[in-house]
């Protein structure tokens, strides 16, 4: 899978849920996968830190909802 039609461009800001492109197939595809690159100040950074923070934020919000007596 590759992004056939980009929806965001260099300098654009994105947030959770923002579509970044329309995907399709190009060449031989052996299975679905994702190439993720994050840059801060034009320097590549390890995306694991961003994913870790996203997962922790999700679980903290879910826990707060449960402890307040809310339901998911």
Sorted by where each begins, the domain ranges of the chain are: 2-67
What is the rounded CA–CA span in Å between residue 36 and residue 45? 11
What is the rounded CA–CA span in Å between residue 7 and residue 19? 7
pTM for this prediction: 0.42
What is the rounded CA–CA span in Å between residue 16 and residue 24? 21
pLDDT tens per residue across span 19-54:
999 988 777 777 776 777 888 788 888 888 878 888
Question: Which has more pLDDT, 7 or 24?
Answer: 7
Residue 66: per-residue pLDDT: 66
Q: Which pair of structure tokens corresponds to residue 58?
A: 């999700």
What is the rounded CA–CA span in Å between residue 56 and residue 45? 19
């Amino acid at each position: 899978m590759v992004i056939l039609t980009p929806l965001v461009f260099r300098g654009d800001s994105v947030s959770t849920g923002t579509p970044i492109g329309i995907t399709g197939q190009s060449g031989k595809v052996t299975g679905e996968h994702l190439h993720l690159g994050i840059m801060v100040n034009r320097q590549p950074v390890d995306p694991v830190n961003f994913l870790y923070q996203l997962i922790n934020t999700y679980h903290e919000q879910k826990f707060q909802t449960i402890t307040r007596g809310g339901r998911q």
